[in-house]
Structure formats: structure tokens, C-alpha cells
Amino acid sequence: MTDERAKRFPLALADLVREPRKPAGRADASRVKPAAGASSGKPGGLRSAAVAQKSGATAPSSASAPAFASKATPGIAKPVPATVRSPAQAPHPRTSALRTAQRTVERDAANGSANGVTRKGAPNVALTSTQTLTSERVRERMVERLRANGITDPRVLNAMSVVPRHMFVDPGLAAQAYEDAALPIGHHQTISKPSVVARMIELVAAGRTLEKVLEIGTGCGYQAAVLSQVAKEVYSIERVRPLSERAKLNLRPLRVPNIRLHYGDGRLGLPAAAPFDAIVIACAGLDVPQALLDQLAVGGKLVAPVGSQAAQSQVLTLVTRVSATQWRESQLDRVFFVPLKSGVI
Ligand code: SAH
């Protein structure tokens, strides 16, 4: 089991310990007008979310302790007592570890080794500015803007403050990494805007402890890294192989132990790992695939941009599975995402 788990957690390198944080207590859903059943015909509507019958409906996810992982043994969960800690206090152990890993990478990169990660562009030129840009203060300013724009969950704000977004983009774009902008990552895809990443995670977390989360559309791996600071286990699927490989390279030096990357068609989800407490879809479809709705735990939440890219009519849609056969949908912000496509390339 340990070996198998280690194999399936290719990034399980770290000696990180994480503690649950105090739930934000923010009733995200209260800002949201719950829609009973499916929307019909509206842009961003959820064609299949209404009341689908499914004989083998999934059970709620196991309610094991929200405890976190792995000191000496990578990938093995080791419960730790819940401690309430304000973000202003001493850093979270996992946060510290991530920061340490990050500084090591930055130092190695400055020395020209970059932990074996090869990047396009002109690394030596970029690294000087990267080092300046990567300061925690730059990220803190980004987090201040997120807070000013309504993100309140301390777990999300903490995660945004520790994940080095500049390490997920090409060095030539590092100067823009902490602006609130989507940036190209190749293969006609983009890294999502920080405000959208934070918003989606806050919506699905909704003050709950998240055990198992599924992301559709790994891209460069940034959102998976942010999720890894909020959830116990993160599964992420990407359909473009070179992006999946790039995400693996981007994540490796950060030593994040609880992310499992999969190359495949995310429309199918990961039935073997279901049910998920939360599902985040980082690309826009005309509907939410039924397979993903089925893989949501009862009580779980899914967030997705739904609608057409061409018509610029995408709406961030929050779905809550209220029972084995019922999902409730809320339509929130207007957004703009790359499309959810079928198959793999
Ligand atoms: N999560 C990213 C955003 C990636 S952009 C971030 O951290 O910012 C959306 C990604 O979804 C693209 O990489 C695209 O290739 C991928 N995608 C589109 N359709 C998909 C599908 N059916 N399965 C898996 N990934 C898909």
C-alpha cells in the first residue's frame, strides 16, 4: 500500500505537516441564489444537472478526521490535532515547508541548477528579475488585493500567499505573474487569473474541510498547488500531454506531497477515486458532464465555467449535490475560460 501510494503520489517527496485551519465561517452560498433543479436554456445553464437518476449513486465521502500528512513517511496521513491559528501568527508548518522548498529552488536556480528543471527562454536573464519578483512581499500585495476584492477564507488567502505563481509561467512572463491576469502557458492554454483561482476554491470549500478534491484542467499546475494547501488530497487531470508533463516539472521542486496528476480526458473524471468533496473545472463546457456530477459526494460542491467561449457567455456555476439524485445550481460571475474539450492530445 505504501509503495503503491508512493507510486501514485509521484510528488510525495516532502516532510510536510499540515494542520486544519479554522473554517472561514463565510456562508458563500448565502451570496448565491440557489436554483432549484436545472436551469433551462440560459447561457451557462447546466443541461444535465437537474434530477438525474443514478442507481449506483455514490455515497458521501468518508468523514475521516481532517488531518494531514506525512512527516517521516511521505504520503502517509498522520492525524494531528486541530489547532486554530490566525494567519498573522507563526506560519503553518506546510506553509513553512513550501516556502523553504521554494527558496531552495530559487537559490539553486540562481546557481544554475534549478533542481533539474529546464525552462524555456533565457533563464539567467529571467532569474535575476525572478528573484526580485518572487519575494513574499509581492505575493502578499496580491493577497491584499484578493482580500480587498472579497476573498475571506483564511485557508485560501494563505494558500495564495505561499504558492509561487511565477514558477508556473515562462520566465519571460514572470514580471506579470502577480498581476491579476491570465497568462499563456503554451498549447493555446492559459494559467487562470489569481482572483478566479481564489474565488473558485473559496466557493467549493465553503468553510468545510476538504478531504478529496478533483481539478479538471491541470494546465501548468498552479491551481493544483493552491488546492494542495487547502485540501488533503488533490487529483488533477489534463488532456494535453506536454502540459501535464510541464505541470509535473513545475510542481516537483515545490515538494507538494498530496497532488496526483493524471493525463486523460477530464470529462470522464476519475471514478476510481470518487467521490470528491469538491470538483473544480478550469475550462468551460456547454454543460457540466454528468460523470463529474456523479463523482461529487453528497454535500459536495462543484464549480465550473459554463457556456460558450465564442459567444463570451460563460458563467461561473456552482453546483451542490444535495442528495444521491439531486444537484442544486447557482449561476454567479461572468468569466472567460479556455474550452473544455473531449479526448486527449
Ligand atoms: N488549472 C490551470 C488552468 C488551466 S487552463 C491553472 O492552474 O491556472 C485549462 C486547462 O484545461 C488547459 O490546460 C486545457 O488543456 C485543459 N482541458 C481542457 N479540456 C480538458 C479535458 N477534457 N480534460 C482535461 N483537461 C482539459
pLDDT band at residue 134 using 50, 70 and 90 as cut-offs: low
Testing ligand 1's pocket by substitution, the residue of 166, 180, 216 carrying the most ligand atoms inside 8 A of its CB is 216
Mean of the per-residue pLDDT values of the chain = 72
Ligand 1 proximity of 74 Cβ (cutoff 6 Å): no
**Residue found under cell 525572478:** 130
What pLDDT sits at residue 86?
32
- The dihedral sign for the CA sequence 344, 114, 215, 170: negative
For the chain, list the strands marked E by DSSP.
183-186, 189-191, 210-216, 231-238, 259-263, 276-281, 296-306, 315-323, 326-334
Establish whether residue 97 lines the binding site of ligand 1, counting it when its CB lies within 6 angstroms of any ligand atom: no
Question: Among the options 39, 61, 161, 192, which is catalytic?
Answer: 192
Count other Cβ atoms within 10 Å, centred on residue 174. 24
Give the pLDDT confidence score for residue 312 in this predicted structure. 77
Tell me whether strands 210-216 and 231-238 are parallel, antiparallel or unpaired: parallel
In the chain, what is the straight-line distance between the N-terminal and C-terminal CA atoms, in Å?
31
Above 60 in pLDDT, residue 324? yes
Domains in the chain (CATH in brackets) are 93-335 (3.40.50.150)
pLDDT for the residue 277: 98
| pLDDT for residue 207 | 83
Q: Is the dihedral of CA 166, 170, 175, 181 positive or negative?
A: negative
Q: What is the pLDDT of residues 230-281, one digit of tens each?
A: 999 999 999 999 999 999 999 999 999 999 999 999 999 999 999 999 999 9
Average pLDDT (209-225) is 97
Expressed in angstroms and rounded, the spacing between residue 218 Cα and the centre of ligand 1 is: 5
Cell of 304: 465550473
Is-catalytic flag, 40? no
For the stretch 285-289, contacts whose Cβ atoms lie closer than 8 Å and that sit 24 or more positions apart, written own/partner, are 285/339, 285/340, 286/47, 287/45, 287/46, 287/47, 287/48, 287/49, 288/46, 288/48, 288/49, 288/317, 288/319, 289/48
